[in-house]
Amino acid sequence: MPGVGGETGAAPGFLAVSRRGGSIGPMTHPTTAAWRAAGEALDLDAAVATLADDVVLRSPLTERVRFEGRAEVADILRAAFATVEDIAYHTELGDDTTRALFYTARVGDQPVEEAQLIRLDADQRISEVTFWLRPLPGTVAVMEGIGAALTRRRGGERAARSLRRKLRPLIAMVGIADRQGAKTAKPR
């Protein structure tokens, strides 16, 4: 397999690719290439087509919630695609069954970077996906956007407004902590 091991400087059996601002190239897995293209195009149908029927999505926000099956994961992706903009994958690594993908994006004016751990089943479909997000203000913006979109679909506009009101103090505190933390962390 081209690009495995020493050719990329990665550990044997792993592919390592990073080309900011350009195509990721031929060393990616076909399933994750389709997943990435769907994410960048915000194409829900194409993203869902990469999923196994029994896919599990682990929330980046809480250990208490797992989304199971294509329908539940599609619902989350629909809300995510309505919230996150300008997705640009920049790095992918892994082997034939486990992949790690990284992208930058934004939610409103908040920058976001996400890491995705993707596991593939025997049919080369995504059977498990776990997300991690940074920085904290972007994570809170994702939580607000996805939470409001899900709440709106499940409980109506009034419930979505209520959720947004409940999140306002958290959003304000995170913004203050982000600004103050940056000031204190920088050397004078």
87-131 confidence digits (pLDDT tens): 999 999 998 899 999 999 999 888 999 999 999 999 999 999 999
Task: List Cβ neighbours of 83 (8 Å cut-off, separation of 6 or more).
Answer: 107, 142, 145, 146, 149
Residue type, 155: G
Could you list the residue range(s) of the whole structural domain that residue 141 is in? 14-185
- In a domain, residue 135? The reply is yes
46-90 confidence digits (pLDDT tens): 999 999 999 999 987 778 878 999 999 999 999 999 999 999 999
- In a domain, residue 2? The reply is no
Name the domain count of the chain.
Answer: 1
Evaluate whether 75 touches 150 at the Cβ level (below 8 Å): yes
- In a domain, residue 6? The reply is no
13-58 confidence digits (pLDDT tens): 334 444 444 444 446 789 999 999 999 999 999 999 999 999 999 9
Give the chain's radius of gyration (CA, Å): 18
The pair phi, psi for residue 26, each rounded to 5°, is -80, -5
- In a domain, residue 95? The reply is yes
For residues 114 and 155, the model is more confident at 114
- In a domain, residue 114? The reply is yes
Question: Using CA of residue 150, residue 151, residue 153, residue 158, what is the dihedral sign?
Answer: negative
Q: Residue 154 maps to which CATH number? A: 3.10.450.50
Evaluate whether 145 touches 71 at the Cβ level (below 8 Å): no
Query: What is the helix (H) or strand (E) element at residue 117, kind and residue range?
Result: strand 110-120
Residue type, 126: I
pLDDT at 2: 33
Beta bridge partners of 94: 15, 99
- In a domain, residue 18? The reply is yes
The pair phi, psi for residue 73, each rounded to 5°, is -65, -40
Q: Are strands 126-134 and 51-58 parallel, antiparallel or unpaired?
A: parallel
Nearest to 143 by CA among 83, 74, 70: 83
- In a domain, residue 121? The reply is yes
125-149 confidence digits (pLDDT tens): 999 999 999 888 888 888 877 777 7
- In a domain, residue 41? The reply is yes
